[in-house]
Structure 1
Amino acid sequence: MAPATLLQNGLIVDGTGRAGWQGDLLMRGDRIAAVTPPGKIDPGTLVSEGTPQAIDCTGLVIAPGFIDVHTHDDAAVLDGPAMLPKLSQGITTVIVGNCGISLAPVVTEAPSAPLSLLGRLQFRHASMASYADAVNAAQPAVNVAALMGHTALRMRHLADLRQAASPAERAAMAADMQEAMDAGALGLSSGIFYSEAYAADQDELVAVASVAARNGGVYATHVRDELAGILPALQEAAWTARQSGLPLVISHHKCAGPANWGRTRETLPLLEQLAEGQEIGMDVYPYTAGSTVLREDLVDGIIDILITGSQPHPEMAGRYLADIAREWGVPQPQAAVRLKPGGACYFQMREDDVERVITHPLSMIGSDGLPHDERPHPRLWGAFPRVLACYWREKGLLQLEEAVHKMTGLSARRFRLGARGVLQSGHLADVVVFDPARVKDVATFEDPQQFSDGIERVWVNGVQSYTAAQRATGARAGRFVRRGE
């Protein structure tokens, strides 16, 4: 059991969104034992714990550990359980299985796109229970909660990915979805943006999503179109969730492509209108570039495209597609085809759209980082401190308490995480202490693998796992988090 720890004289920003206040926090084992004004923790409580380790947090913020609601860390928590890219940001829980992409229930030695976004080595779990066991055996430094990926279900059960699932295939997918929910999955994710799932019809999606609904799950979706067809794509996602009886989370909401810049003035009112009749949330990352597999249909000759990796031409990682195409003497789409399979950062958003989404009451923060990219998008290492530095401290678009709420309490509530995301007695002791004057991202597109500044200490389930001075402490106290825990 972790020793008792007393954090003293910090600014308590508890994750609820209410105003911060000076106080103390006592951790006992893996739980928060008390949160009080300075010096007001019951002496009897302190005596019963022995003498706790006392840490002066004067001038620092004490907050719930950040929850990264949109990750592709499914294999990373097994391959690299120290999880420094996330732990060093103050993240204590990651939600995996997003965009329809999950390790379970696919078993293969040669994963194709988009499953290859998760790496190539860990596709050996035919069930969510097997994956959960693997997480607990790996003992990662962060907690792991999981969605079941619709595309992964398709790739296991469909004879032809160019078609909608047959009744028998829908039944097989639904059975795997039930197994996942029994194993503690949070719900279903889909990525019908990708060609491997684009043919899915409403009958197929509802057949699988309804299983998650009957078990108290959620539905997170990378919608069919984030370009010109964004409005009907959002309506389709809302219809699927409504027919299934599920809360909806729109993944990494954006208006992509120059022709769509400014259209958050349309999409956000639509989501507000839909939210009057059903539960809807969305996640967002604080950058104008996204990152995914390399696709020639996303090459428009206007936006910048940075190559993050290429199997046939690994030497091109870190270079811009326009420069590569010029060097090869071919059009950019042709160069993209020659670089495939690979990945890229697409500078396809505009900052005012990002600001509108980040400040919207329905939005949570997710990094959407790809840990297996050779040169990953800097959001993998910097997304959460960037929100605090850029959108709170520098631009003043968010209050501190509001920013923390979008990273903690709101996220826990949307994804049914139970006793996490808020600093209160009895909750699990996932805690971050940061310096509000210094916290900022350092990772850049040119040098993306850099530690953020200002994250002073991180506890996962009551175990101090990161300090600014020591970096990783060597402790790995994370676990697989079942729905409601």
Structure 2
Amino acid sequence: MFDLIIEGGELIDGTGTARVRADLGVSRGKILSIGDLSAARAHERVSAQGRIVAPGFIDVHTHDDRLLLTPAAGAHPKLSQGVTTVVAGNCGVSLAPLETTNPPPPLDILGTDGWIYPDFAAYLDALDASPLAVNVACLVGHSTLRVKYMADLERPATRAESAGMAAELARALAAGAIGLSTGLYYPPAKAATAEEVIAVGAQLKAAGGIVAMHIRDEGDAIDEALREALHIGRELGVATVISHHKLVGTANHGRSVQTLAMLEQAARGQAVCFDCYPYNASSTMLLPSRVKQSSDVLVTWSGAEPGVAGRSLKELARERNQTEEEVARALQPAGAIYFAMSEDDVSRILGHPMAMIGSDGLAHDVRPHPRLWGTFPRVLGHYVREKKLFPLEAAIYKMTGLSARRFGLAGRGTLAPGHHADIVIFDEHRVAANASYEHPTEVSSGIAAVFVNGRLACRDGVSVNVDAGRVLRRQGALA
């Protein structure tokens, strides 16, 4: 007797292989059988006739650390687009281990009032005790460690400071963190050297951890920044993820041909991959230095002037008879969306066989980038159905099986007997992202049902269960 049978759908199993028409049987939160289950008994049967049945999507690049602990009301930004698992703690920013009431930018992308966890185990325990809408695997942020262990962030760490951070990371790994993330681009870690990161991450290999890197530069100096990140990964001897790979600034449009070649070459000698999102605009803290690289900048939030959220920096500058840089400085602390990327580069990177999908959405922005709500349906609707950049099976693999393998999420990411029943049912002809820069929190179309660990969590974009997720603790070495 099955708890649930999903019948009559086109199964795309997350391995990249062709779809098959089959039924899928679930018991006790796991997939028990795939095939013709028309004669089998079940407590519940769900028809997927005319729809795709796939593994729940894995968002490998999120800043959901605090969102996970926030009681869900109404539609959920991840469940509503078919996501069943997120990787939190990216770009060097994790909510733990740090106690503070004044987190420096960009740590404040997670808000300013949730920094209450003295160690990583306390944060994971809080997640365990909370209703979780999705599964979560957690990285430890290098910048968070720096803020905890260093009074002066504008210099490299001393040997003692590096040792303190390394010991803290080791404790976090023992508690269940899956690895380390860096954000060498941002002020709290800009002064850090490669040697510092290597020293802090010394225990990653023995623990079977991973390093995910927001590299030092994604513009003019991207070649050097990639070489540094690859060097760190080699020295640590662990799988390396280049976070949200992209090229910013008009002068760098088209250079993805070279950067992808660099990554392909590196992959011949070390474990490396990258994630990306399907938009030609990025979003992070409002940095005056980024303004000239961008054709336009939208303010997502401002501590100094909350009312300007959603406004164009160019328009504000004209109204105030100031330069955009002057306005950006006056709005601090603040966040922004930067239009500085080439669609050709976005498509080339997205279509590369090494690419995984990550939203990089900022849940606490007043007017967030639409990628928070629309990343996965945008891939399926715009890039698969409309642009035909790659087959649907390849897209699903980038969102599921590849991600699970790279991040060591055992039993997730593929539809197979014995695997956890994280499942999404969607209409390949209707699926689409409705979130836009003007209306960034619109719910996507075409996602019929989402199951998390075998429990129905979302139907037609509406949350019906926000307590089916689990904390996914590190399970050993990554493939």
Q: Is residue 442 of structure 1 aligned with residue 434 of structure 2?
A: yes
The alignment partner of 2:471 has SS state of coil
CA distance in 1, matches of 2:471, 2:119: 14
Q: Which blocks of at least 5 consecutive residues in structure 1 are unaligned? A: none
CA distance in 1, matches of 2:273, 2:339: 24
Question: Which of 229, 233, 243 is the aligned partner of 2:235?
Answer: 243
State how 1:394-473 maps to structure 2 within 5 Å. 394-468=386-460, 471-473=462-464
Quick check: 1:442–1:453 contact (8 Å CA) kept in 2? Answer: yes
* Residue type of the alignment partner of 1:7: I
Question: Which of 36, 44, 57 is the aligned partner of 1:53?
Answer: 44
The alignment partner of 2:155 has SS state of coil
Partner of 1:337: 329
Quick check: 1:165–1:204 contact (8 Å CA) kept in 2? Answer: yes
CA distance in 1, matches of 2:354, 2:133: 29
Partner of 1:23: 22
**Deviations, residues 16-36 of structure 1 (Å, cap 9, x unaligned):** 000111001111111111112
Residue 390 (structure 1) shift: 1.0
Residue 301 (structure 1) shift: 7.0
Q: Is residue 225 of structure 1 aligned with residue 217 of structure 2?
A: yes
Shifted more, 102-111 versus 284-293: the winner is 102-111
* Residue type of the alignment partner of 2:391: Q
State how 1:81-480 maps to structure 2 within 5 Å. 81=72, 84-300=76-292, 302-468=294-460, 471-480=462-471
Quick check: 1:408–1:422 contact (8 Å CA) kept in 2? Answer: yes
CA distance in 2, matches of 1:39, 1:142: 28
Partner of 2:473: 482
**Deviations, residues 304-334 of structure 1 (Å, cap 9, x unaligned):** 1001111111111111000001111101100
Residue 81 (structure 1) shift: 4.2
* Residue type of the alignment partner of 1:188: L
Q: Is residue 4 of structure 1 aligned with residue 3 of structure 2?
A: yes
Q: Which blocks of at least 5 consecutive residues in structure 2 are unaligned? A: none
The alignment partner of 1:235 has SS state of helix
Q: Is residue 70 of structure 1 aligned with residue 61 of structure 2?
A: yes
Quick check: 1:89–1:455 contact (8 Å CA) kept in 2? Answer: yes
Quick check: 1:209–1:246 contact (8 Å CA) kept in 2? Answer: no
Quick check: 1:464–1:475 contact (8 Å CA) kept in 2? Answer: no
Residue 402 (structure 1) shift: 0.3
CA distance in 2, matches of 1:39, 1:194: 53
Quick check: 2:104–2:188 contact (8 Å CA) kept in 1? Answer: no
The alignment partner of 1:100 has SS state of coil
Quick check: 2:173–2:207 contact (8 Å CA) kept in 1? Answer: yes
Q: Identify if the C-alpha distance between structure 1 residues 174 and 401 changes in structure 2 by more than 3 Å, giving closer, same or farther.
A: same
Quick check: 2:55–2:423 contact (8 Å CA) kept in 1? Answer: yes
The 4+ residue runs of structure 1 with deviation greater than 4 A are none
CA distance in 2, matches of 1:3, 1:342: 51
CA distance in 2, matches of 1:456, 1:3: 21
CA distance in 1, matches of 2:409, 2:46: 28
* Residue type of the alignment partner of 2:108: S
* Residue type of the alignment partner of 2:45: A
Query: When the two structures are aligned, how many residues end up with a matched partner?
Result: 475
Residue 209 (structure 1) shift: 1.7
Residue 52 (structure 1) shift: 2.6
Residue 302 (structure 1) shift: 5.0
When the two structures are superposed, what TM-score results if normalisation uses the length of structure 1?
Answer: 0.96
Quick check: 1:193–1:222 contact (8 Å CA) kept in 2? Answer: yes
Residue 203 (structure 1) shift: 2.0
CA distance in 1, matches of 2:145, 2:294: 35
CA distance in 2, matches of 1:475, 1:68: 17
Q: Identify if the C-alpha distance between structure 1 residues 374 and 25 changes in structure 2 by more than 3 Å, giving closer, same or farther.
A: same
Shifted more, 350-359 versus 125-134: the winner is 125-134
**Deviations, residues 258-283 of structure 1 (Å, cap 9, x unaligned):** 11001001100011011110011100
* Residue type of the alignment partner of 1:406: K
* Residue type of the alignment partner of 2:50: G
* Residue type of the alignment partner of 2:56: G
* Residue type of the alignment partner of 2:21: Q
When the two structures are superposed, what TM-score results if normalisation uses the length of structure 2?
Answer: 0.97
When the two chains are superposed, the root-mean-square deviation of aligned CA atoms in Å is 1.4
Quick check: 1:210–1:245 contact (8 Å CA) kept in 2? Answer: no
Q: Give the % identical residues.
A: 47
